[in-house]
Amino acid sequence: MSATGRRTVPRFGHGSRVPGWDQAVDLTKDPATIPDPATTPVAPGLKETIEAAMAKYPDRRSAAIPALHAAQEVHGWCSPQAIDEVASVMQLTPAYLTAVATFYDMFSTVPKPPNDVYVCTNISCSLLGADEFFAAMLDAAEGDPDVDVRSFECLGACDIAPMASVNGEYVGPLDLDDAARIVEDLRAGRAVLEHKQLRYRRTADPEVAEEETDFGPPDPETTEMADTAGLGPEGDPEASE
Amino acid sequence: MKILFDRIDEPGLNTLPVYERRGGYEALRKALQMTPEEVLSNLMDSGIRGRGGAGFQMGRKISFLPHGDMDKYLVCNADESEPGTFKDREIMQKSPHMLIEGILIASYAGEISRTFIYIRGEYAHQADILEAAIAEAAQAGYIGQRILGSEHSVSLVLHRGAGAYICGEETGLLDSLEGKRGNPRLKPPFPAIEGLYHGPTLINNVETLATVPAIIRMGGKEYAELGTETSTGTKVVSISGDVQRPGNYEVELGIPSRELIYGLAGGPPEGREIKFWFPGGSSSPVLTKDDLDLPYDFDSMAKAGSMLGSGAIIIVDDSHTVLEVALKVAKFYAHESCGKCVPCREGTNWTVKMLERIQSGEATPMDLDIMASVQEQIIGNCLCVLGDAMAMPIGSMVEKFRSELEDEIEAARERAEGADLDDVIPIGVADEHAGPFPVH
């Protein structure tokens, strides 16, 4: 299950998978058991987050995805250590959590750079040049150890196609020059392509939007109007805690 | 007529005070004055059909839930991942309380005490907004024990997914919500009988639930006046691809497709013509420019051999080849197939390979027949419709654009024959992706 830029399944010229692509289980090792909470150190705060998530559901296992999100946030990726910590708090086997983590595109079971750039390359975006933008984005981030560029399936923002999600912030429509700007903004630690962020976009429906909708940079007079969520570009500090 | 998009750009609509000032949660109060049966009969009368893709009548779905004292669940499907669809995103981002109110009313109609919103993990901003809105609603006493002095108690939990198209399929979603890999389940039993945690479960799309407050406010019969007889009400249509003004448009069902595509979305760019279009997301069989005068509703789309699906129109103009779009569609479903059922897992991958053969000039016109037969063998042979969702559009493209694909096969073969033999990778030799093992 991989259509990403860097983590392509290695294949021979005729299309078959190169042996070892899935890292066969090490048969010499004993199966992992549920880690003992007494002897497994857990990153500060992670235990509380996971326990709070478990309390929300009738079955604690439902918290597997929220818990892995939290662990990935802390450790940068779903490392064996991160999985062990979640397993000890949730009292599940590491194998179970690894199975879950490998199923979902947003979890990474290999080390990854801290900044995620998901470039949508599905139909609507690719009709408008997403594949070219993805190539430009790969070039722009080439050699930057902090930026992970992946092609992603439809992100649900075809109205701003071609688009990308930069650390969860939707930006578009993008042109080729924006690739370099995204990397610059990430390096500078500021809001990415602020004038192209989805959160500022009005609805396209002419009977709803009072004026012509465009993608101009946030004009101080209209930004407040358009930012219907009332959250600044930095996001709601409380919500992103 | 705007129901969902009524002044949706109003600043602060995502907060409780603004929503209440506009009459928010009045429909919930009105519903709680009625009996659950009365609320349900309003939903039945409205004739509203599910906005997520299948188009099943919402009222009937609720009526399938068993009665009695047991744990019943409601799950709002906000895992909007069908390519081309982005209506729920705008509703959740701009008017989250409308969705919450709809969930609360539906839970009352179905006598359900535990409700969930399963939102796709990529919608981080929208999830933050919903989380804040749920907290506000709980604070104000709309969610919790004996809400607004009634006998009805209800909880609402927001659950963030982590990126998997299959979790939009209702039983895949339930597995994912239970903390497992999102594999679809065998049906029957249908979720209304045995769903989340083995309890009876009602699953509805964001747009369907967000319409519920309006139905209660207007009365089911009056809502049914909108739209056509069998496709009642308004629908938010996402239009994208080669159009001048892509975006969400709320229209009454039954509007001519041409008016939607040309009138509202501005049609294809100057000098371009529509080659074909998907009327309901990338899973729907394609229609051509001859079908532009069809009314946009569930039955007309079905009669034309396609479907309204999630109400996402993708326009492809004449600057693109059918092959290029078919390959995108096939690759998407091959990537997202969960791998549980053989016809889907193998069929999607083989379709990609056959399309790539066309591209590289190795195919013969007979391959089109093989490809069409693969699609036929996927349809109806899997636990869920993910495989069908690829088979239907690909099958329709082969059927409707056969001569273009045959020309493409011929042209690609000529190109390949003219190519320098040094550029051809002999079979069995690893390509550039084959690195040292193990590789990811």
Q: What is the pLDDT of residues B121-136, one digit of tens each?
A: 999 999 999 999 999 9
CB contact under 8 A, A12 and B182: no
Best probe of the B interface among A153, A167, A192, A221, by most B CBs < 10 A, is: A153
Is the backbone of residue B339 left (phi > 0), alpha (psi -120 to 50) or beta?
Answer: left
Contact in structure between B285 and B396 (CB atoms under 8 Å): yes
| pLDDT for A205 | 86
Number of domains chain A is built from = 2
pLDDT-based confidence at residue B36 (cuts at 50, 70, 90):
very high
Laid out side by side, the sheet with B114-119 consists of: B155-160, B114-119, B73-78, B201-205
Pairs of CB atoms within 8 A across A/B: 259
Q: Which residues of B touch A110 (CB under 8 A)?
A: 440
| Cα B63 from Cα B145, distance rounded (Å) | 24
Same domain, A87 and A168: no
Q: What residue spans define the domains of chain B?
A: 16-224, 237-317, 322-419
Is pLDDT at B427 greater than 80 in this prediction?
no
| Cα A192 from Cα B152, distance rounded (Å) | 45
pLDDT-based confidence at residue B200 (cuts at 50, 70, 90):
very high
What whole-number percentage of chain A has pLDDT above 90? 69
Best probe of the B interface among A65, A126, A166, by most B CBs < 10 A, is: A65
CB contact under 8 A, B128 and A106: no
pLDDT-based confidence at residue A236 (cuts at 50, 70, 90):
very low
- Which residues are bridge partners to B155 per DSSP? B114
Best probe of the B interface among A124, A132, A240, by most B CBs < 10 A, is: A124
Laid out side by side, the sheet with A164-166 consists of: A147-152, A115-120, A164-166, A169-171
Structural domain boundaries enclosing A119: 115-226
* CATH 3.40.50.11540 is held by the domain B16-224: yes
| pLDDT for B112 | 97
| pLDDT for B416 | 87
CB contact under 8 A, B2 and A208: yes
Residue A162 belongs to a domain with what CATH number?
3.40.30.10
Residue A82 belongs to a domain with what CATH number?
1.10.10.1590
Mean pLDDT score of chain B, rounded to an integer? 93
Rounded to 5°, angle at Cα B405 from B401 and B408: 145
Contact in structure between A207 and B3 (CB atoms under 8 Å): no
Q: Which residues of B touch A169 (CB under 8 A)?
A: 124-125
> Which residue of chain A is at minimal alpha-carbon distance from B433?
A10
Q: Token pair of A63, please?
A: 């918290």
- Which residues are bridge partners to B317 per DSSP? B274
Same domain, A164 and A207: yes
> Which residue of chain A is at minimal alpha-carbon distance from B245?
A204
Is pLDDT at B431 greater than 70 in this prediction?
no
Same domain, A131 and A222: yes
Question: Model pTM?
Answer: 0.89
Distances in whole angstroms, Cα of residue A102 to Cα of each of A18, B49, B157, B338: 19, 35, 25, 12
| pLDDT for A210 | 55
pLDDT-based confidence at residue B426 (cuts at 50, 70, 90):
low
User: What average pLDDT score do residues A45-53 get?
Assistant: 97
Q: Token pair of B154, please?
A: 């209800």
Which range, of A227-241, B74-88, B229-243, B410-424, averages the lowest pLDDT?
A227-241
Query: Which of B49, B373, B25, B359 is closest to B208 using CA atoms?
Result: B49
B322-419 maps to which CATH number?
A: 1.20.1440.230
Whether ipTM tops 0.85, in short, is yes
Q: Any chain B CB within 8 A of the CB of A237?
A: no
pLDDT-based confidence at residue B196 (cuts at 50, 70, 90):
very high
